[in-house]
Structure 1
């Protein structure tokens, strides 16, 4: 028995849903729907989802700045500990390189790895060329810098010995 014709019931097929695809723009754009952020699974299908995604990107920018501050604070803490132990100075009192204890090195490496990962991730968000997402990265970095960098080494900057630190760079 052949049911391939289904007795003339061929017109009862379900209408196919339009396929949503990630839009790949290599030019400046302000597209909202069908924008994918880094992963195909982070597919924006509504304005609400896009706004929420922008807020996540802002939070990632703030997190990046927090990680940079955490690295700096950890280095200060390690340096103070080594200095208190009398390590890090030569016979004539000049500063020398000191081997950092293993647990501190592992913590420093972990924070550094997270910072590098997040900086590259934000670079990929930036490379969507979406004006709103680019703005979200910049706003997150600015908020994070404002919150986590309230101090400045004025004497070091005036003496030319202290840079203000690299900005949000890929590496």
Structure 2
């Protein structure tokens, strides 16, 4: 029924509203994705046939393809963790200006302590900042890809994301230096 006729029924006080047949289709299609004429699983499952992967033409149809996708996703998740650590290291190395400010603060028993504040910055229009911006974009895109892969609810792919992220963190994050500033009040 056309939208204008549907509205006429509502305005004329019709006791039984006539539903728009297109409304159900749009609602259903937006809540659950369709693939190959069937509904996409919205619960965790462990299949390897007709598993969509990020793009419409990328469908996993065999155990061999699932194994390949598992390895690729595992490596992508490891790359993501490594990229996060690499960006932190680059940021530490590319810090251009360091400024120290001190100010007196009351201490115990009427003493005066000097509190030091360190301000670190870099120039906005510089190669290091531009490079960090590009790396940030790559990191965001990879993180959304991993999220969308996890949202397939395929158990194998979810395990690949989690195992890759855990392995990447284990391999890259142990070198991350923990620097404590003794003048900082909150740890």
Instruction: Give TM-score, length-normalised by structure 2.
Output: 0.64
- Which has the larger strand fraction? 2
Larger radius of gyration: 2
* 2:98 counterpart of 1:88: yes
The answer to whether the 8 A contact 2:101-2:118 is kept is no
Structure ranking higher on relative contact order (CA contacts 8 Å, 6+ apart): 1
Please give the secondary structure, in 1, of the residue aligned with 2:130: helix
The answer to whether the 8 A contact 1:23-1:35 is kept is no
Q: Which whole-Å CA distance do the structure 2 matches of 1:48 and 1:116 have between them?
A: 29
How many angstroms does 1:54 deviate by?
0.7
Please give the secondary structure, in 2, of the residue aligned with 1:74: helix
1:98 maps to 121
1:116 maps to 140
Please give the secondary structure, in 2, of the residue aligned with 1:40: strand
| 1:3-54 deviation digits (Å, cap 9, x = unpaired) | xxxxxxxxxxxxxxxxx93862111111111101111211111110111111
1:139/1:74 CA distance change after superposition, 3 Å: same
Unaligned runs of 5+ in 2: 1-34, 103-115
RMSD, aligned CA: 2.6
How many angstroms does 1:98 deviate by?
2.7
Unaligned runs of 5+ in 1: 1-19, 163-171
**Aligned pairs (5 A) from 1:41-60:** 41-60=57-76
Q: Which whole-Å CA distance do the structure 2 matches of 1:121 and 1:70 have between them?
A: 19
How many matched pairs? 136
2:107 maps to none
Instruction: Give TM-score, length-normalised by structure 1.
Output: 0.70
- The partner residue of 1:143 within 155, 158, 167 is 167
How many angstroms does 1:90 deviate by?
4.3
